[in-house]
Amino acid sequence: MKKRVLLVALGMILLLGIGSLLLYNGVFWLNNPSKAAYPVRGVDVSAYQGTIDWPTLRAQDLDFAFIKATEGSSHRDPFFLVNWVEARKAGLRAGAYHFFSFESSGTTQAENFLAALSEAEAQSDENWPAALPPVVDMELYGEFQKNPPPAETVRRELNRLLQAIEEHCGVWPILYATQRAREEYLGTEYTQYDLWIRSVYLAPQTDDWTFWQYSHKGKLSGYSGPEHFIDLNVFSGSQEAFAAYGLPE
């Protein structure tokens, strides 16, 4: 009897270990939204994906890409401009995102992000697919995961950044957030902004999202950076709704 219990326990441990390994390596995902329910698909990328062959990526049933532009008050993603140009030339709708820093002012972060956007706009072609609205990426990182900064301080700087983007671009930015960042800082105070929610293990705990990052373990062809995985996303609506999304009224 004891031997049988031991074998069962070892078998369960082995299955859990194999399952964890398969999840870690992106062999299967807990989230896998159906193409029928969410026909509009996309990725988000940064320097971690290295040089990207955008036509190859585009051919894998993708419609859009969010591309990292800046972080904080001074960092510029070295691949931003080439990714911006090549993604749109390949036929994707692209949007630029800024990684929000808790360690610098919203004003100087806006200056950094808008300078990158201005350079991207100068290299844009009217024959390319329309750009998506810009994004502010809100997530807890580093030491702030254990010690989140005060909500009042974060919101003050976030508001400065958002206002500057709105004035420059003439559109409402999208807010990307993890569930925790949303609870800590966004709450019900930013409902005028479209939400891009990160939820890679379960379906989102809210139904008011516009974009959903459902996997951080995607594997596609067409990139050669140090990161083997790529983030996968869906849009909440139809192809027709996506074609009109973010366009001037």
Residue 13: per-residue pLDDT:
56
Q: Hey, what long-range contacts does 238-242 have (CB within 8 A, 24 or more apart)?
A: 238/39, 238/40, 239/39, 239/40, 239/63, 242/40, 242/63, 242/64, 242/93
Q: What is the reported pLDDT for 249?
A: 72
State the pLDDT at residue 21.
40
- What the block records as the tokens of 220 is 């596609």
CATH number of the domain within which 192 lies: 3.20.20.80
Looking at residue 158, its pLDDT comes to 99
Q: What is the pLDDT of residue 210?
A: 99
Q: Are residues 217 and 112 in the same domain?
A: yes
Q: Are residues 15 and 94 in the same domain?
A: no
* pTM of the full structure: 0.88
pLDDT on residue 3: 60
Query: For position 7, what pLDDT does the model report?
Result: 58
Is residue 131 in a domain? yes
Low-confidence stretches of the chain (pLDDT < 70) are 1-29
The predicted pLDDT at position 248 comes to: 81
pLDDT of residue 31: 79
249: in domain = no
Say how many domains are in the chain. Answer: 2
190 and 140 in one domain?
yes
Q: Do 150 and 178 reside in the same domain of the chain? A: yes
- 22 and 95 belong to one structural domain: no
Q: Give the per-residue pLDDT at 15.
A: 47
CA angle 103, 113, 61 (to 5 degrees): 115
Contacts with 24 (C-beta within 8 Å, 6 or more apart), sequence order = 217
Q: Which domain holds residue 2?
A: 1-30
H or E segment and range at residue 21: helix 2-24
pLDDT at 130: 97
Indicate the DSSP class of residue 143: G
